[in-house]
Every structure is written in C-alpha cells, then in structure tokens.
Amino acid sequence: MPVPIRQIPANLLVPSQYQEIDNSLAGSQGDIKKALMIGYKLSTSQAESGKPVNVLSAAKAHQLFGHGSPAAIMAETFLSLNKVEELYVLPIPEPEAGTAWKENFTVSGSALEAGAVRITINGMDFDAAITAGANAEAVAAAIVARINSELTLPVTAEAEKTDITISSNVKGTVGNYNSVFIASSANGVSIGKAESVAGAGVTDIKPYLKGLGEVRYNFFASDFDDIGNIKASSDELESRYGPLRQIGGRMYIVLSGNLGSKTEEGTILAKAANVNSPHIVLLPRGNNPDLPCVWAAAWCATACRILADDPAANTYDTKINGLIGGEEFSADERQKLLENGIATYRLDTTGNVLIERLVTSYTENTDGGRDTSYLDVQVTETVDAVRTYINAEAKKRFKTWKLASTEENFGGGARVMTAGVFRSFLAETYQEVFIKDKQWCQDFENYKKSILVEIKSGSKTRLEYSHQPNLIGQFYIAAGLLQFK
C-alpha cells in the first residue's frame, strides 16, 4: 500500500527523521455564519455607499451610518438579539430626488401649572417637562428639545414659534412608516395635529447587491419592500443559490399595512402576490408601531440564531424579544398569510411576538400551479446546508486525487477516485452525518437506491452524480379524530 507522502522528496539522501503534516483528516466542518442588514444611511454619514461594513456595536453603527438612520437601527436591533453571527451592514444612499416625510403639530395655550407632554414615536414614549406659566412657544421648544435629545430616533424636530415639524432623517418612502403622537397633560396646553407630508422616492439597490461580489452572506434583512427592489433581491439570491456560485442565503423583508386581498393595491396580500422566491421570507408587520427595519432585523436575528446551528430546526413559538406586538391576526387570517407565502406569528398573554411558522414566498411553479416544495424556510436552508457540506467534505477528503473511469483494484490507500468510491462517500455521509449526527434527512435505504454516479463519457476529469435526499420535516400539525361513547 503506497504511503501518500507529497512534501518529502523520494530521492532525499540526507539522513534524519522526517514527517510532513496533513490536517485533512482532523477537525470538523463548520463556519461562522454572516448576516447582512440592508438599509439607508444618512447623507452626512461617513460610511461608503454600497460597501459592506462589519459592525460589532450599536454605538459604532450609529457613528458610521448616522444617528437614527435605518441602517444603524437595524444593526442595533440585530446586535441586541444576536451577537453570535457576524453582522455586516450594507449602507444605501437616500434617493437623490426624494423628499422626506414630515408631520406637523401646533401648540396653543399656556401652562397654568407644571406638567408634561407625552411624546410617542414608533411606540416609544418620552415626556417633555413643562414649567408653570410656560407659553405655547416655550412648550413647542421643550417638545423639540426632548425629541432631539434622543439621538438614535429616526426623526428630528424643529420649531417655528408654536409650530412643530417632525421629519424623517432620510428622504424617501421609508419615512412614511414613522408614527408620532403628542398629547399634553399640562393644564392649559393643547397640541393639535396639522397637515402631514408623505415622503417620496426609493433608491434602486440592484447595483449595490451586484457589488457584494462572491462573499457569502447566509442571512439578509432588507428595509426595501417595493416590488422593484424585492425583484432585484430575488434575482440576486437566486443567482447566489445557483450551481455556479453556491453561496445561498435567505432574506427577511417586512410587509406593512392591512391584510386586504390580492386585488387591493397596497395591502399585504397584494404586495405578496408579486413575490415568488424560496429565498425571501415575507413578514407581516401589519400596522404595528415598530418600524419595518426593526421587524426585519429582529426576525432575522432571532431566526438565524436557531437556523445557523441547525437549518432543519423547528422555530415554532420562538420569542422575538423587544418587538411591540400590538396587532394579532386571527387563525383564518394566518391561514391566508401562509397560503400566500407570508410567515406568521402569534402573541402570548403578555403581548410578546412568537414565531408561528416561517415560510418562504415561493408558492407557484413556472406554470403558475401551486407548489409547496419550498414551503418552509427550513427546506431551503437544509438543501443549501446538505450541498455545502458535501462540497466541503469532498474537497477536504479527495483533494489531489486522480480519477479513473473503471473500478480497478488500485491497491489499498490509493488516491484514485472512481464512481464506486464516490457512491460510498455519499452513502456514508448521508447515514452518518445527515441522519445520525445532524438529523437533516431520513430514509437511508431509498436514498442509497437513488444514487447514480458515473464518469462523464469522453472525459478524464469530470465525475457526475445525482442523488435524492429525503429531508426531515417539521412537526406543526397533529390531526386526530376523537370518537367518544
């Protein structure tokens, strides 16, 4: 049996003891998964547009992308829930021709005694202290000062005498999801809401997605929910999942508004009808107060912490800390969401958001027929993990091997690949790793029968194979019949 020595020359004559080191049989497969948040930066920020940045702290995120920017808020949210996966942020510039969302308020009266004004921004409450005898202009100034003291808010405020304008930090439609309520408890002071101005404009993120190159990001969260950018995201993810790139990842995108129907423009179901990707998970924020960027980052951080360790893991009832779950869909509504490729959640007795079922947006095949092959995100994650494991293990185990088209007896220890050797490798990996170790797959006997390996006719370098892993499922439903007497 030949010893596969490669670094010690066969014609070496100098006496000594020599041993080369080969680590190919040591260690185990594993890598640190990467998550990428995609959101707007402020125009005044120091980060370069379209260049992914590794972020380790919320403070650094706000410093890099601008205090209160969607990109920084996404990073802060993710890091509050998950510090295991490597976090990267893709900062996107605001739309050049866009306009910013604005909400206007008017203060009237004067404080007869000391009191406070309650300010609620995206579900978060703040109080502005009002001194006795303060006139309307002083009250407006106090409200503006209190809002601007919260540096990580996605809005800023300014006052002109008794008129207050609260504006989104960035231009574009993204600001339209902000919600602001101001109410006075100070005797003699009232706050009136004036005309609002919607933000307009969306940045096309397609060139920035293309600029990511071949770095693998396993999980994405995007703050871009318009159909053009979702299509661009879907195309990029499909390309990454393909056989020539094999750097697949799943993206979490939030849909806001009323449930509606497929034909009601602007509703959740109507938006989902334009999406059909096994790599995009749609999240129904509805009209909950937390911003879409917070929902996307929070869901991504929580789900990927589980799926990074086990892509086939059941995520049912996983709690997403920090989200304000004010709105809950009924069972019938959740059925409609799932049928249309939208993930669902429920609320516990204290209002915490619990993941119910993580499904992908893929619902139809190319002929328009109903297709559940990629229903649960665990399917896509597990298929990707199986492929990645086989590729990495084969590269590790069979590096520098030769290839033979016949099943000769090349002698024990020979580094010669044959169809039989590769068939045995697949069967062994399936049984020992995918079934016994990781519980990703099942049904070894039928898997063995599915394996087809051959050396491509006319080639001395290419082995081709097909196999049919039977993925393990998710225990979501038990349907029984109780017949009592």
Model confidence pLDDT, tens digit, residues 362-385: 999 999 999 999 999 999 999 999
Task: Report the alpha-carbon distance of residue 226 to residue 176 in Å, rounded.
Answer: 13
Element (H, E) at 204: none
Please, what is the average pLDDT of the chain?
95
Split at pLDDT 50, 70, 90, the class of 17 is confident
Topology of the domain covering 34-93+203-379:
Rossmann fold (3.40.50)
User: What is each CA distance from 263 to 272, 273, 274, 335, 371, in whole angstroms?
Assistant: 11, 9, 11, 18, 21
In percent, the amount of the chain with pLDDT more than 70 equals 98
Give pLDDT, residue 38.
98
Q: In the chain, list all ranges with CATH 2.60.40.4390.
A: 102-193
- Mean pLDDT along residues 247-275: 96
Provide the terminal-to-terminal Cα distance of the chain, rounded to the nearest Å.
73
**pLDDT for position 413:** 82
Question: Could you report the per-residue pLDDT of 193-203, keeping only the tens digit for each?
Answer: 998 999 999 99
Residue 113 and residue 335 in contact, taking contact as beta carbons nearer than 8 Å: no
**In the block, residue with structure tokens 């579900």:** 123
* CB-based contact 284:344 (threshold 8 Å): yes
Q: What residues contact residue 99 under an 8 Å CB cut-off, 6+ apart? A: 171, 172, 197, 199, 200, 201
What are 454's strand-pairing partners? 464
Fold classified for 102-193:
Immunoglobulin-like (2.60.40)
User: What pLDDT, on the 0 to 100 scale, is given for residue 109?
Assistant: 95
> Per-residue pLDDT averaged across 451-477, rounded?
96
Q: How much is the pLDDT for 85? A: 97
pLDDT 10s digits, 125-156: 999 999 999 999 999 999 999 999 999 999 99
pLDDT tens for residues 27-58? 666 678 999 999 999 999 989 999 999 999 99
Pairing between strand 124-130 and 115-121? antiparallel
Euclidean distance between CA atoms 323 and 286, whole angstroms:
13
Tens of pLDDT along 201-260? Answer: 999 999 999 999 999 999 999 999 999 999 999 999 999 999 999 999 999 999 999 999
C-alpha 108/C-alpha 392 separation (Å) is 69
Model pLDDT, residue 280: 98
Q: What is the secondary structure of 330-380 as a DSSP string?
A: -HHHHHHHHHTTB-EEEE-TT--EEEEE-B-S--B-TTS-B--TT-BHHHH
pLDDT of residue 339: 97
List, by residue range, all CATH 3.40.50 domains of the chain.
Answer: 34-93+203-379
The span from the CA of 154 to the CA of 88, in Å, is 20
pTM of the model: 0.94
